[in-house]
Chain A
Amino acid sequence: MAIKDHLRTLKISAWLGWQIESNWARPSLFLLYSFIRPIAATLILVIMYLIVKQNVASEPALFSYMYLGATFYMFVSSVVFGITYVIHTDREHYQTLRNIYISPISLYVYLIGRAAGKVALATLAVIISLIFGIVVLGLPFNLLMVDWILFVPTMALGMACLISLGLALAGISLLTAKHSTSINEGVGGLVYLLCGAVFPITVLPAWGQAIGLTIPITYWLELIRRSLYPGEGIELLGGLQDFTDGTIMIFLLISTLIFTMLSLTMFHYADRIARKKGKLDMITTY
């Protein structure tokens, strides 16, 4: 299939995803809705931090560690569950998955396109959270001191990793209707807990740290923090202080490649089984 066909699929599915996400309310109300929830989730952590530490200035690196992790974790929920949930809604709610299957488009591209709206919103939510953090909470941040050479490839690799994780879970969702929501929640909860999204993984038991070090998102968040924090010291918190930025980037690259291959294999396998067992139009009214 030609690249331009994929691009058209991407554009139209992104438009469809955006309409489904947003056209239930006026744009202003919708935007407000989109930002309140993730910002509230971050504020819970901020309040907990302030209760214990009293202010941000006493340990700016620790605050930044938590705040940046919580803020960028918004991408995980948006991308991973954005892709996965398309299978669930298109099959069960809108009952259009079979139509998508028989149309001459790539399902992978369609799924990624459908999640694009959520990614756009997550990007805006991250930017708003950062501005809120800087202006209201005194988050140490300086655009001129951002290590863009580290940040840009880290974001690109991170997105690739999240998309592949989303495709793997989408594959599982093809096979199960009763568990897809729980599996999403479970994976989200496990990753949040084990990858040190808001606390250094060194506080986890040894087995938890070992698992955390196999998850690419651990390395992604570490590099995001190192590239955005203007001072020194944040690299000492996450348990990866023995590794340079370059080494962690290699870890991220390798783990993302492995994750991508596993995800594509898993999706391909699940797709075949789902077709064989007639699960593509399975409706459980759940």
Chain B
Amino acid sequence: MNDWALNFKAGIARAHARAIGAMREPSWVVFDVILPLLGVAAYIYYYRALGADPIFEGFVILGGAMTAFWLNVLWGMAAQLYWEREVGNFQLFMITPMSRMALLAGMALGGLFTSSIRALSTLILGILIFQIKISVAEPLALATIFILTMLAVYGIGMMLSSLFLMYGRDAWNISNLLQEPVYLVSGFYFPIRELGLTISAVASLIPVTLGLDAMRQLLFGPASQGILPVWVEAIILAFQAAIFMILAKFSLDRMEQRSRREGRLTLRWQ
């Protein structure tokens, strides 16, 4: 079997394990559907209490759906190798003849599948329960932006997972730290332009910022106050996806060597 075929099969196998793992306990699906809705509902009622324009409720639904992917990137990608090491799987991964990138790609693919269920259910139930008006005038553009956002966001996840390979409890804590602060600066629940152009520009280094901004523009029109035209955001997202993938490969190689030298590959309970 050539390397490409082997790595392809390894990636699919890892994705399969992740998808099956998420489904092994049917009640998890219920939690996956209900939990994000609770947070979304709280933000919607908050906007209602403030007397905000109903379009903001749509922003909350979209942002709430996208949290599924960001949480998966943090906990299912970035912290995953730390987790695999804790439970003893990581050394098994290391002695297989597959590419480590195939492993990460498989994790991303499987994670994307499970997160999509959570995101889609939040989106559909949120729209139905709270009577949100959304019009998809350009479905192709929306799909393109979504795919580019996912490539870039999971690229970040792959990069972080290799960095976290060196960490102990830091990995856990840093993942925690990248939740609410990122929701804030990336404008998960409001148009990012409200934070000012400087903060928006810096926050755009996190791909989900531009992805959300573009999707808001495509779903809610000019009221979403986009920071850049959608096509520009698409180009930047494509660049970000490529750059993060390359950085992921680079940092994975470096961190693996360093971990081997420092004896961290099997270190647990740090």
Q: Is the CB of A48 within 8 A of B177?
A: no
Kindly list chain B residues whose C-beta atoms are within 8 Å of the C-beta of A182: 28, 31, 35
- Residue of chain B at shortest CB distance from A204: B45
Mask of B123-150 contacts with A, CB within 8 angstroms, 1/0: 0000000000000000000000000000
B180 CB → nearest A CB, Å: 4
Q: Name B's interface SS.
A: helix
Kindly list chain A residues whose C-beta atoms are within 8 Å of the C-beta of B235: none
Count B-side interface residues using an 8 Å CB cutoff.
41
- Residue of chain A at shortest CB distance from B171: A24
- Residue of chain B at shortest CB distance from A41: B180
Kindly list chain A residues whose C-beta atoms are within 8 Å of the C-beta of B50: 48-49, 52-53, 62, 199
Does A8 have its Cβ within 8 Å of any Cβ on chain B? Answer: no
Kindly list chain A residues whose C-beta atoms are within 8 Å of the C-beta of B191: 51
Kindly list chain B residues whose C-beta atoms are within 8 Å of the C-beta of A62: 50
CA A127 to CA B241, docked complex, whole Å: 40
Q: Name A's interface SS.
A: helix
Does A272 have its Cβ within 8 Å of any Cβ on chain B? Answer: no
- Residue of chain B at shortest CB distance from A181: B31
Mask of B184-206 contacts with A, CB within 8 angstroms, 1/0: 10001111001100000000000
Within residues 23 to 67 of chain A, which ones have a CB less than 8 A from any CB in chain B? 24-25, 33, 36-38, 40-41, 43-45, 47-53, 62, 66
B98 CB → nearest A CB, Å: 22
CA A91 to CA B99, docked complex, whole Å: 34
Does A193 have its Cβ within 8 Å of any Cβ on chain B? Answer: yes
Could you say which of A151-159, A165-173, A184-192 contacts chain B? A184-192
Q: Is the CB of B38 within 8 A of A193?
A: yes
Does A268 have its Cβ within 8 Å of any Cβ on chain B? Answer: no
Q: Is the CB of A24 within 8 A of B173?
A: yes
B54 CB → nearest A CB, Å: 12
Q: Is the CB of A37 within 8 A of B31?
A: no
CA A197 to CA B42, docked complex, whole Å: 9
Size bracket of the A interface? 35 or more
- Residue of chain A at shortest CB distance from B179: A37
CA A189 to CA B34, docked complex, whole Å: 10
CA A25 to CA B170, docked complex, whole Å: 7
Kindly list chain A residues whose C-beta atoms are within 8 Å of the C-beta of B270: 24
Within residues 180 to 235 of chain B, which ones have a CB less than 8 A from any CB in chain A? 180-181, 183-184, 188-191, 194-195
Does B257 have its Cβ within 8 Å of any Cβ on chain A? Answer: no
Given contacts A37-B177, A185-B35, A186-B38, contact A47 B184 (CB under 8 A): yes
Mask of B27-56 contacts with A, CB within 8 angstroms, 1/0: 110010011001101110111111110001
Q: Is the CB of A189 within 8 A of B179?
A: no
Q: Is the CB of A199 within 8 A of B49?
A: yes
Q: Is the CB of A52 within 8 A of B42?
A: no
A71 CB → nearest B CB, Å: 14
Interface centre among B38, B43, B181 (most CB of A within 10 A): B38
Does A93 have its Cβ within 8 Å of any Cβ on chain B? Answer: yes
Kindly list chain B residues whose C-beta atoms are within 8 Å of the C-beta of A189: 35, 38-39, 42
Kindly list chain B residues whose C-beta atoms are within 8 Å of the C-beta of A12: none
- In the complex, the 9 A-B pairs of residues with the closest C-beta atoms, listed nearest first: A189-B38, A199-B49, A182-B31, A24-B169, A40-B181, A40-B180, A41-B180, A52-B50, A52-B52
A-B contact pairs, 21 of them (CB 8 A): A20-B169, A24-B168, A24-B169, A37-B181, A40-B183, A44-B180, A44-B184, A44-B189, A48-B52, A51-B190, A52-B56, A178-B25, A178-B28, A182-B28, A185-B31, A186-B35, A189-B35, A189-B38, A192-B38, A192-B39, A203-B48
Sample of 7 further A-B pairs with CB below 8 A, known A24-B169, A51-B190, A193-B38: A44-B184, A44-B189, A47-B190, A51-B56, A52-B52, A179-B27, A198-B46
